[in-house]
Amino acid sequence: MRRSMLFLPGNSPNILLNANYLGSDSIILDLEDAVAPTEKDSARILVRNAIQSLGYTKEIIVRINPIDSPYWEKDLQTIVPIKPDMIMPTKVSGAEDIRTIAAYITKLEEELGLEVGRIKLIPLIETALGVERAFEIASADPRVTCIFLGGEDFTADMRCVRTKPGNEIFYARSRMVVAARAAGVEVMDTPWTDVEDYEGLIEDAKLAKSLGFSGKASISPRHIPFINEVFSPTEAEIQYAKDVMETIEKAKAEGKGVVSLRGKMIDAPIVNRARQVLEAAEAIKGGR
Amino acid sequence: MIKQRACAGTLESSDIYVEIAPAEEGSGLALDITSVVFAQFGEDIERVIRETLKELDVTDASVRVSDRGAVDCTIRARVETAVCRAKGEK
């Protein structure tokens, strides 16, 4: 269950200590933008030690530096041995980027005697080219289980201004969701960057959910409860899903082909949706 | 082999600032530790620093640290970073 994922700077011991208790479903330990070039070495070692020693129970994602930087291989050499749940490659613009990174992780896993393929990828797509190639990125390698839109860099690449209504990223959002669902992977929405504007955040999260996003990233722990709430099924949705499943089971037992609930025909998409709602509710109850 | 003076870490809360400098061969480790929790954890901090230096094959060096309440994994990380930088392995 990944409704929310929280960015935390990789070179701040105080923040890494509290990472597990900030309420997000996933934690992104950042080696990229939140770390100055002169501290890349320091952050890698600190993040490695924190994951090894602090007993995180949340999903751990490590954001690495882009493949056109001099840092990404060293990032992977340091982080792969401690087997984070996921690696987040950045500024991904095509399937080839993913294949390069996946092949390098495989090489490290083989050298270290680790299970090959266990570490998953969540590519950060934040360029016009990346959005245009979202489907090929999402289906480039079995390690890719989710894709993630970075709105700030994307709008900079598009030479437009990032606004609160988000009209300028509407196409990118829609395209990312379609690409992800077509490839059979999850998709996470860009963070809301105004830390104090909770109403705006809630509206933005609701919009993302309505488009089909699985969840939303955040740069502030204070945003997490709101994001979790928006991306959790409501009591009414859970009850309806239970009723759908009961109706279907009853119909099967009675040998009926077509059934209806509250005056509406229950067909395969409705059953699938109900199953997803119940799985999500169960995952939230289970804490992961 | 420590080739040059190097430092790592910060003086922020929960961090530790580590400075390491070359020393004559055979002179051993000279540790200078200040900490906001020295009375309670001074011996533990020294033990973690010595263990980390040993793992990194550092036998001769002058090490000065200023601790702001760092946990073991942070102390180990900052010592390792300082040693790598001092060895020119950044």
Total tally of structural domains belonging to chain A: 2
Assess whether A106 and A222 both reside in one domain.
Answer: yes
Interchain contact, A49 vs B74, CB within 8 Å? yes
The more confidently predicted of residues B17 and A249 is B17
Q: Of A195, A210, A230, which residue constitutes the final position of a domain?
A: A230
Interchain contact, B81 vs A45, CB within 8 Å? yes
Out of A42, A50, A54, closest to residue B81 by CB: A42
Output the pTM of the full model: 0.92
The list of chain A residues with pLDDT below 50 reads: none
Interchain contact, B85 vs A41, CB within 8 Å? yes
Chain B neighbors of A41, CB-CB under 8 A: 81, 84-85, 90
DSSP-derived secondary structure for chain A: --SEEEEEETT-HHHHHHGGGS--SEEEEESSTTS-GGGHHHHHHHHHHHHHHS---SEEEEEPPPTTSSSHHHHHHHHGGG--SEEE--S--SHHHHHHHHHHHHHHHHHHTPPTT-SEE--EE-SHHHHHTHHHHHTS-TTB-EEEE-HHHHHHHHT----SS-GGGHHHHHHHHHHHHHHT-EEEEPPP--TT-HHHHHHHHHHHHHHT-SEEEES-GGGHHHHHHHTSPPHHHHHHHHHHHHHHHHHHHTT-S-EEETTEEE-HHHHHHHHHHHHHHHHHHHT-
Find the residue in B nearest to A37 (Cα): B90
Kindly state the tokens that stand for A130. Answer: 């990346």
pLDDT value at residue A287: 56
Interchain contact, A13 vs B71, CB within 8 Å? yes
Could you tell me the residue range of the domain that residue A144 belongs to?
A: 4-230
Find the residue in A nearest to B15 (Cα): A13
Give yes or no for A17 touching B (CB within 8 A): yes
Taking one residue from A and the other from B, the number of pairs with CB-CB distance under 8 angstroms is 44
Report the percent of chain A where pLDDT is more than 70: 99
pLDDT, tens digit, 9 for 90 and up, residues B24-51? 999 999 999 999 999 999 999 999 999 9
Out of B12, B15, B84, closest to residue A41 by CB: B84
Chain A neighbors of B15, CB-CB under 8 A: 13-14
Q: Does 3.30.230.10 match the CATH number of domain B6-86?
A: yes
**How far apart are the C-alpha atoms of A47 and B73, rounded to whole Å?**
9
Assess whether A200 and A257 both reside in one domain.
Answer: no
Interchain contact, A14 vs B81, CB within 8 Å? no
In the structure, what pLDDT confidence band is assigned to residue B90 with cuts at 50, 70 and 90? low
Assess whether A166 and A276 both reside in one domain.
Answer: no
Kindly state the tokens that stand for B2. Answer: 């420590």
CATH of the domain at A174: 3.20.20.60
Q: Of A200, A230, A260, which residue constitutes the final position of a domain?
A: A230
Pairing of strands A264-266, A259-261: antiparallel
Kindly state the tokens that stand for B16. Answer: 């530790």
pLDDT value at residue A106: 98
